[in-house]
Amino acid sequence: MSARRVGIMGGTFDPIHCGHLDAATAAQHALRLTELLVITSRIPPHRAAPIASSYHRFAMVSLAVAGRPGWQASDLELRDDVSSVARADRSYTSATLQKLHAAGYAPPELFFVIGADAFAEIASWVDYPAILGYASFVVVARPGYRISDLTTALPALAGRMVHLPLDRAPHETSIILLDAATSDVSSTAIRDRRARGESIGGLVPDSVRQHIEQHELYASETPLSRTGADRAASAAGRLHGQN
C-alpha cells in the first residue's frame, strides 16, 4: 500500500450521525489511513434535496470531526468549480475523485469509505465502472446489509473484492470489504425524531446535537411552505449570528 493513504467519506450529512463516524473510524484503523476527508455533498444525485442548508450541514460535519486526529471537514463538493452547470450543481463522486487526482493524489492513495447499502447501487453511479479505478472503495457493513451478501448481489465485481484482514493481494485499486459494527441509525430517523420532538441524544455527537437544537433544525415547527431559498437564507443567518 502507498505510504500516503487518504480516506474519503462523502455524503449529504443531513445530519451526520454516529453510524457515519463508526464506519469512518473502522476504516481508519483497519487501513491505517493517514488522513480522512469528510466531504459534504451539495445536492446528491440519488436522493431528494437536503432539508438543512449546505451551511448547516458543513458546520455539523466540522463539529463532528473536531478533535479527531487526521480528520478534516472538506467543502470540495460545495465549491462552484466542482459541479458543472449542465449537471445542475449535483455532487458526483467521480468528479470529486478526479478533482483529487488533479490535486496530486494518485488512485492507489485514495480510499472511498461507503456503507454496504449504498455500494449495492454502485452500478447506477455516473462513470461506472470506470469509477472503480479512481480509488479503492472501502465497503463497511451496515445494520441489515451484510458484507457477505455483496458478492452475490454484485457478481460482476466479486473478482475485485478483498476482505479485511486481506485474504489476498489487492489490485492497485480494489473493493475492500470491512465487516465492522456500526450504529443502527440513519439521518432519516434522526429527522423524524426531531419532528416528533423526541431526543436525538446518542445518535449524533453531542456538539452536533447542540447545533441542531440551537438552530431548530428538522423541528416540526419549521414552516413547510417556505421556499428552499428562504430556508437557506434563514439558516445562513442563524449560523452566522445575524438572527
List, for residues 74-125, the tens digit of each pLDDT value. 999 998 554 443 345 677 999 999 999 999 999 999 999 999 999 999 999 9
Contact residues for 17 (Cβ-Cβ < 8 A; gap 6+): 183, 185, 186, 187, 190, 203, 204, 208
List, for residues 201-228, the tens digit of each pLDDT value. 999 999 999 999 999 999 975 444 344 4
User: Is residue 8 within 8 Å of residue 136, measured between CB atoms?
Assistant: no
State the burial class of residue 13 (Cβ atoms within 10 Å of its Cβ: 0-12, 13-18, 19+).
buried
**Rounded to two decimals, what is the model's pTM?**
0.85
| Cell triple for 30 | 483497519
Which domains does the chain show, CATH number per domain?
A: 6-178 (3.40.50.620)
